[in-house]
Homo-oligomer: A and B are copies of this chain.
Amino acid sequence: MNIGTVAERANLPAKTIRFYEDIELVKPARLKNGYRDYTEVDMHRLRFLQRARSLGFTIEECRLLLSLYEDKNRASADVKAIALGKIKEIERKISELKSLKTTLKDLADHCHGDHRPNCPIIDDLVSGGNSK
């Protein structure tokens, strides 16, 4: 299977698939003309990668998940631990963004937003505000 076909089927840009080969996440065979030749097994790995990346796992986490995926004796607890860690991470990011939003909204609410130059947002940026 050529890279274009596999790209479409795995829902990944060809560039990304080549990049994944660079970092040794997939190792396709080569045809006589130098074209990459993907098997169904490669396809599964790529689909797995696409899905795991879209769930927010980093490349290194994907590498780990792939090795667990291929280890028929893995404990599901190992996989669950990674997922739970990721959830905690996402929660941290959400609360960080929420407080950012609150701060920004407070600033915007105090700004007239008209043609006059006086602007409390700028004033806050200058003086350093009180929330980090």
Contacts and interface: CB of A to CB of B under 8 A. Distances in A.
Interface of A: 44, 47-48, 51-52, 54-56, 65, 68-69, 71-77, 79-81, 83-84, 86-87, 90-91, 93-94, 97-98, 100-101, 103-105, 107-108, 111-122, 124-126, 128-129, 132
A75 B118 CA distance: 8
Given A97-B97, A126-B48, A55 B104 contact: yes
Given A91-B101, A100-B90, A101-B87, A80 B113 contact: yes
A100 B69 contact: no
Given A65-B125, A94-B97, A114 B76 contact: yes
Contact of A90 (B51, B54, B79, B101): B101
A117 B114 CA distance: 62
A31 B115 CA distance: 42
How many copies the complex holds: the figure is 2
Contacts of A74: 117, 119
A56 B115 CA distance: 25
B83 A107 contact: yes
Contacts of A77: 112-115
